[in-house]
Amino acid sequence: MTYNRAMAETTLTSEPSMAPRQLILLALRDIAPVMLAALPFGVVIGALAAKKGLPFDQIMLMSGLIFAGASQFVALELWGVPPPFWLIVFSVLAVNFRHILYSAALGRKMRHWTAVGRYGGFALMVDPVYVLGELRGGARLSGVYYAAIAIPLYFGWLIATALGALFGRLIEDPKDFGLDFVLAAYFIYLVAQFRERPNAVPIILASAAFAIVAFFTIGPPWHIASGAFAGIAVAAGLAGRRAGTVV
Amino acid sequence: MIDWTAYGLIVTLGLVTYGTRIGGHLILSRFGRLNPRLEAALDAVPAAVMTAIVAPMALATGPMESIAAAIAVLAALRLSMHATLVLGIGSLIVMRLLLG
């Protein structure tokens, strides 16, 4: 039972039977390290936006409406006076394309939600919110749990962006504290939690290999789509065979 | 003069992003029952996408980052989330201090 031993934390799925208070505590514990990682990232985004000459209200509008750090970073890198409208729109679409996969996958676990809850919830579905939803959701994702991870992260992101916009110049290099690696270590942990799903090892290897090749050939952000589709294709190709995941 | 282009662009980017966040669900909800291959493909989404995001960070940033990533992988297979973060980030900080 590697599953239960290694996933001692994650077997606490957010069952609808759990009390709301338990769900919220679990959610806050899950989202705390994400907020630690998102804070310096948000500060960097806010500082970059201010450097590009965006007024404070536009910076906050951007974080409030897009709420997707990597794509905001790409948009700001391309920003100019005037901004190249369609280039930025298509670049953001390319970076955020993976959310289509997220909503297809996680939507299956949100069928018991009201339409308002579901379409409101999707607005806040950033990478860690999606992955925690998959990890804790089981077949029916708890709306209380989802709200309790997504809403604090959303407001944390707004606060971090505002801090960066106002005081960005004072911030030291996040590398000094290893903060640039928090997200990587956290994602590595999350990937490992999916290792008991069917064919996890070939899926992960295919994704990593294609992502690295695409990173050095086509270049970012296409490594994400390349790796993702390689892994998903492996999963579809192997579907139905005996699951042979041994780690 | 207020720059409406910038506001229009930001709102467009918000709509495009929201479109990606509901798009997959809108397409899938038109099907009643999903075929097992599609179900398997969707079940692979978290591991496949997360791996693709993290692979260059872990393998193509630098030797110290790669070592720290390897330590994080080992920790993630055996230990808790907090232990993974402490060992992964801690090892990188120590390496940067000593070799940096």
Cβ distance B76 to A191 less than 8 Å, yes or no, reads yes
DSSP string, A161-181: HHHHHHHGGG---GGGGTGGG
Residue A245 has pLDDT above 70, yes or no: no
- Three-state SS for chain B is CCCHHHHHHHHHHHHHHHHHHHHHHHHHCCCCCCCHHHHHHHHCHHHHHHHHHHHHHHHCCCHHHHHHHHHHHHHHHHCCHHHHHHHHHHHHHHHHHHHC
Over range A219-247, report the average pLDDT: 80
**Which of A191, A199, A246 has the most B C-beta neighbours within 10 Å, making it the best mutation to test the interface with B?**
A191
Chain B residues touching A35 at Cβ < 8 A = none
Q: Is the ipTM of this complex over 0.85?
A: yes
What six digits make up the tokens of A130? 């999606």
Contact B88 A247 (CB under 8 A): no
Q: How close, in Å, is residue A49 to chain B by CA atoms?
A: 12
Closest CB to B10 among A61, A101, A235:
A61
Q: A235 contacts in B (CB within 8 Å)?
A: 40-41, 43-44, 48
For the stretch A27-61, what's the b/e string if a residue is b when 16 or more beta carbons lie within 10 angstroms of its beta carbon? Answer: beebbebbbbbbbbbbbbbbbbbbebebeeebbbb
> Does A98 score more than 60 pLDDT?
yes
Q: Domain coordinates of chain B in residue numbers?
A: 1-42, 44-100
Q: Which residue has the higher pLDDT, A173 or B72?
A: B72
Q: At what angle do helices A56-65 and B4-28 cross, to 10 degrees?
A: 10
pLDDT at site B79 = 94
pLDDT-derived band at A18, boundaries 50, 70, 90: confident
Asked whether residue A160 carries a pLDDT value surpassing 50, the answer given is yes
Q: Among A1-15, A29-43, A206-220, which stretch is predicted with the lowest mean pLDDT?
A: A1-15
Q: How confident is the model at residue A5 (pLDDT cuts 50, 70, 90)?
A: very low
pLDDT in tens, A48-86: 899 889 999 999 999 999 999 889 988 998 898 888 999
Contact A102, B24 (CB under 8 A): yes
Site of tokens 């998903």: A232
Q: Domain-by-domain residue ranges, chain A?
A: 2-194, 197-247
- pLDDT band for position A195 (cuts 50, 70, 90): very high
What is the per-residue pLDDT for B32?
74
Instruction: Say which residue, A16 or A114, is predicted with more confidence.
Output: A114
Res B45: pLDDT: 92
